[in-house]
Amino acid sequence: MSEDIVIRVLLLPLALLYGIGVGIRNLLYRAGVLRSVRFDLPVISVGNLSVGGAGKSPHIEYLLRWLDQYIGIAMLSRGYGRKTMGYRQVTTIDNAEQAGDEPLQIKRKFPDVPISVSESRALGVPEVVKRNPETQCVLLDDAFQHLSVTPGLNILLTEFSRPFTRDWLLPAGRLREWRHGSRRADIIIVTKCPVALTQQQRFNMLAELDPYPRQRVYFSRYRYGTAYELLRPDMRRDPDLDTHILLVSAIANTDYLLQHLGGVAGSVQTLEFEDHHYYEEPDLYEMLRRFEAMPQRNKIILTTEKDAVRLELHEKFLFEHNLPVFVLPVEVVFCDNDEADLQADVRRFLMDFKS
């Protein structure tokens, strides 16, 4: 038995207690003891059962990019990790400590879309509409477990390489609630799929997820763009086999990214921190030490878009040490004909809501 399995088994009693607590809370919502609010405009929730790594931000960006062409769309997030409190409408000149890393990242990409943060989605949605009366639909970021709001459309994300069906409850695993919580989803998106996803792989995953007849399942993957320099965004480069990379990241899972970089770069070293980690001075000096210790001449520091908004808090340090920090953008691509079918589902939901 591996050490990882042994640790998980030892943590099972705590996971069971955690699961009982979550189960009681969910039961109170189903029984009406705890109140869940419905709104008179379309609300779409995007979330997952695990603590991170399923790709919420790129999928939120995909929906914003598409829906903004047709409808007055707004996004509401908790703003995890921010140092502010209460409702806040995010601006492009905010920093990550004010808005949270993901909302700020998204606002920078969609400056004309109302992006807000609030600990309470139930209080936040009315505030979004009040301040942005043109809003016709609200997109809730990471709200699958926030039962105080009942969304009209519930989208659940799960990773291809580690779906919720193979995970354990916290702290033995990464699940925030029991696996059967997936039954609340209207749409399930299997994310970070292989580039050449086969029909057999789709069939096997569908059999493993065992969705209800009313639940639609789609498959997506990432497409990485051209990296740009954090301090000089007009400077761009595609890593190649002559490029040696120090990957600095604080995201939930780097496996998919490392697999991509392994096929395009000469070598990759990693400096990893916990998800949403805010970099401090010792972290920066460790990054500097690791970078300077790399023997190659053609070398760069590479990071994710989410990390970039936290690293820019230390712009002075990066500039003084002349560190070539590049940011790798990413976007969602759907497999086969899934994009058209997903869009048809969302359109149908919006039309049914109006009627």
Q: What's the count of helices (H) and strands (E) in the chain, helices before strands?
A: 11, 15
pLDDT at 1: 54
As a whole number of angstroms, the distance between CA 56 and CA 35 comes to 26
Q: Give the pLDDT of the chain (355 residues) as one tens digit per residue.
A: 566 777 887 888 899 999 999 999 999 999 999 999 999 999 999 999 998 888 999 999 999 999 999 999 999 999 988 999 999 999 999 999 999 999 999 999 999 999 999 999 999 999 999 999 999 999 999 999 999 999 999 999 999 999 999 999 999 999 999 999 999 999 999 999 999 999 999 999 999 999 999 999 999 999 999 999 999 999 999 999 999 999 999 998 899 999 999 999 999 999 999 999 999 999 999 999 999 999 988 999 999 999 999 999 999 999 999 999 999 999 999 999 999 999 999 999 999 887 6
pLDDT at 9: 79
CATH topology of domain 226-328: Rossmann fold (3.40.50)
Both tokens of 126, joined, read: 């009315």
93: number of Cβ within 10 Å: 9
pLDDT at 2: 67
**Which residue spans of the chain are classified as CATH 3.40.50.300?**
3-222+333-354
Architecture field, domain 3-222+333-354: 3-Layer(aba) Sandwich (3.40)
pLDDT at 355: 67
> What residues pair up with 327 in beta bridges, in sequence order?
228, 303
Both tokens of 309, joined, read: 């908004």
pLDDT at 5: 75
Which position has the token pair 């969910």?
26
Q: What is the amino acid identity at position 154?
A: N
Q: Do 32 and 187 contact (CB within 8 A), yes or no?
A: no
214 contact partners, CB below 8 Å, separation of at least 6? 186
pLDDT at 11: 86
As a whole number of angstroms, the distance between CA 265 and CA 11 comes to 39
pTM: 0.94
